[in-house]
Structures are given as structure tokens and as C-alpha cells.
Amino acid sequence: MDRPTISLVTGAGRGLGVEVARQLAAHGYQVIVTGRDEARLAEVVAGLPGDGHRALRLDVTDAEQVQALPDRVGELDVLVNNAAAYVDWTETATNADLGAARAVLETNLVAPWALIQALLPVLRRSAHPRIVNVASGAGSHGDPDFGLTRRGGAAASYGISKAALLALTSTVAAELAETPVIVNAVCPGLTATYPGAEAMGAHPIGAGAESVVWAALVPDNGPRGGFFRHAVPVPW
């Protein structure tokens, strides 16, 4: 008998990660809900539909925890790199505190990279492996609201980290082009994960999560190395 499809979501103790986990569970996937706050992770797991879900404490910047993951996970089909760090939105490239910027790059770029490296041997054992990197329009050149060329659009280190995550997505997807491992990046769109966001035009959290989950569900002949929002390619 086939085993259930197993997915791992980072930063799933709050925000979009919770809803991504819930939607994957609703699709019948078993979800490994990871994050830094074990009490919150237990609540998330308890609220998921279906069985077989579990919580794993994972600070994505903790190299030891990342290295230990393959043994702790065992089997895996879908990795969703969702966790992200931010600094104050007033940060610009010319005034940025580089210590804080380095920390953002560590969480938003180096950590997904390390997770891909660590979990690739496990994913390669899956029949339909998927890697989903949650990026942002803030990392694209064209985004009229938050993009790289839009002064004051997003915190500089955040946009730069997401641009680098998009570059990582293309590079890894190209390296894995002849394998079953499908790698894509997604933007959830402006999503109401914080108070007041809906008043700024953010869509509900379910819509943002759908944009992410779509990339976990792409078929074996689906797109590779792209950047998508609500299943539509986004130039970057």
C-alpha cells in the first residue's frame, strides 16, 4: 500500500505557515509542522484535519537542528520553505544595519538553502518530490508596490533576500532538471497575517496559502524553476 504524502512546512507556528499546513492536511497530506515555539506547534497540529501530523521544533538558522532533520523526518515528499525574517520596513540599502541585514539573509536565503541541501537525499527517495520556496514580489524588479526598484517598497534586506531566494530557486531547479524533484518559488500576494493588513488591501490568509500550496501540488510534468503568484508566472 502507498504511504501518505508527507510535507514539511517551516515557520508553521503562526501566519501563513499555519494555513499552508491546514490546506496540505485538507489535501490528505501528512504534515510535519515546524517552528520555534513548541506550544504553538502542538496547537497547530491538534487543529489539522486528518491524522499522522506531527510537530518538530526547528529554528531554520540552527545548523545542528537542520543537520539532524533527515533522521528526525525519515521520509518526505514536500518541503515548504515558508519561514521568514523581517526588519523595520523603513530600512533602506544605504542606511541598513548590516548585522540585522545579515540575519535576514541568514533566515530567508541561507536557511532554505541549507534545508534543501540537508533534505535533498530524503526527497530523492520520494516518487513525486517538491520544493516550494515562499518568496515575495519584494524580490522582483517589476512589482509596482513592493519591488526592488520601488523606493520605499519593502525593507531593503527583505527584498534582497527574496531576490536571492528566487535566484536560488532557478539555480537548484536547473541542477535538478533531470530528476523528479520539482522546485518552484511562489508569492502568496499581500496577505492579512497581521492586524490592519486587510485595510491595506491584503487578501485573507486562505487565499495567500492557496498560492503557496498550488506549487506543492504541481503534477510531474508541471513547471520547474518558476516564480508564481496564484498559479500565474510572475516576472522577476
Residues that bind ligand NAP (CB under 6 A): 10-11, 13-17, 35-37, 58-61, 82-85, 107, 134, 136, 187-188, 190-191, 193, 202
Residue 8 grid cell: 514539511
Task: Show which residues are catalytic.
Answer: 158
Q: How far is the CB of 66 from ligand NAP (least distance, A)?
A: 10
Q: How far is the CB of 44 from ligand NAP (least distance, A)?
A: 10
> Which CB atom, from 5 or from 191, has the smaller least distance to ligand NAP?
191
Q: How far is the CB of 18 from ligand NAP (least distance, A)?
A: 8
The CA distance from 43 to 36, in Å, is 13
> Which CB atom, from 176 or from 187, has the smaller least distance to ligand NAP?
187
**Residue 61 neighbours by CB distance under 10 Å:** 16
**Which residue has the CB atom at the shortest distance from ligand NAP?**
15
> Which CB atom, from 58 or from 69, has the smaller least distance to ligand NAP?
58
* CB contact set of 98 (below 8 Å; sequence gap of 6+): none
**Residue 36 neighbours by CB distance under 10 Å:** 17
Q: How far is the CB of 199 from ligand NAP (least distance, A)?
A: 13
> Which CB atom, from 1 or from 46, has the smaller least distance to ligand NAP?
46
Q: How far is the CB of 193 from ligand NAP (least distance, A)?
A: 3
User: Are the C-beta atoms of 78 and 5 separated by less than 8 Å?
Assistant: yes
Q: Is 136 helix (H, G, I), strand (E, B) or coil?
A: coil
User: Are the C-beta atoms of 220 and 179 separated by less than 8 Å?
Assistant: no
> Which CB atom, from 195 or from 219, has the smaller least distance to ligand NAP?
195
